Amino acid sequence: MTTTLAYAAERERMVRDQLEKKGIRNPRVLDAFRAVPRHQFVNPADEASAYEDRPLALREGQTISQPYMVGLMTEALDVSPGHRTLEVGTGSGYQAAILAELGARVHTVERLQELSSEARRRLEAAGYQDIRYRVGDGTLGWPEEAPFDRIMVTAGAPDVPIGLLSRLNEGGVLVVPIGDDRVQELVKFRRGEGRVSRDRLCRCSFVKLIGAEGWPEN
């Protein structure tokens, strides 16, 4: 069994080779990746691969994204401490932990009950106590908790999720992959002064966002 210390060394290498060298520069983001024990968020059988440069399988055909993609999305989200933040697609809980490390007030929605419960167990075991969880269709946002300063969608949407955009505060940012069921473009929206700006960041490939403003279930 690999020791905590050995994992810390692997994590340091991941930050240097997969994030810094590929252009992720925000020191607070890099520190968050140094702090979160990614090996605790993957399936036990994949623990030794947790710091490799690739996505890994979760239950029910879902995936925990490649570290670089989590880094890119996190940097693009531009989180400050105290930001009310919504994550759509809890998955393993890893992205939620990164957001919590940045001081965000994290609200995370997952459509699959089992994944949500497991993520909660992992996050609490890793010491993240202040995250709010919900099981349901995240494309509808979280009406009781809206509006948000930051929204991140970690599954691929077929189109701009207008409902989520409308839940953003002035100055708010939404990061979401948009495209077909195989390839998407990561898009960053910023809401300000009566208009919404849109930046295309890169090509990417996520599992489907399934819901009212996503893909149909089958």
Catalytic residue annotation: 65
Binds ligand SAH (CB under 6 A): choice among 18, 40, 62, 184 = 62
Closest approach, Cβ 101 to ligand SAH, in A, equals 13
Binds ligand SAH (CB under 6 A): choice among 36, 109, 123, 176 = 109
- Which tokens in the block code for residue 21? 């060298």
Any residues with CB less than 8 A from the CB of 218 and at least 6 apart, and which?
Answer: none
Task: Answer yes or no: are the C-beta atoms of 164 and 177 closer than 8 Å.
Answer: no
137 binds ligand SAH (CB under 6 A): yes
Q: Where are the beta strands (DSSP E) in 55-147?
A: 56-57, 63-64, 84-88, 105-110, 132-135
Q: Where are the beta strands (DSSP E) in 74-205?
A: 84-88, 105-110, 132-135, 148-153, 168-179, 184-192, 195-204
Q: CB nearer to ligand SAH: give 29 or 207.
A: 207
Task: Answer yes or no: are the C-beta atoms of 139 and 111 closer than 8 Å.
Answer: no
86 binds ligand SAH (CB under 6 A): no
64 binds ligand SAH (CB under 6 A): yes
111 binds ligand SAH (CB under 6 A): yes
Closest approach, Cβ 118 to ligand SAH, in A, equals 10
Per-residue x/- track, 149-188, ligand SAH (CB under 6 A): -----xx---------------------------------
Kind of pairing, strands 195-204 and 56-57? unpaired
Q: Residues interacting with ligand SAH, by CB under 6 A?
A: 62-65, 88-89, 91-92, 94-95, 109-112, 115, 137-139, 154-155, 207, 209-211, 214
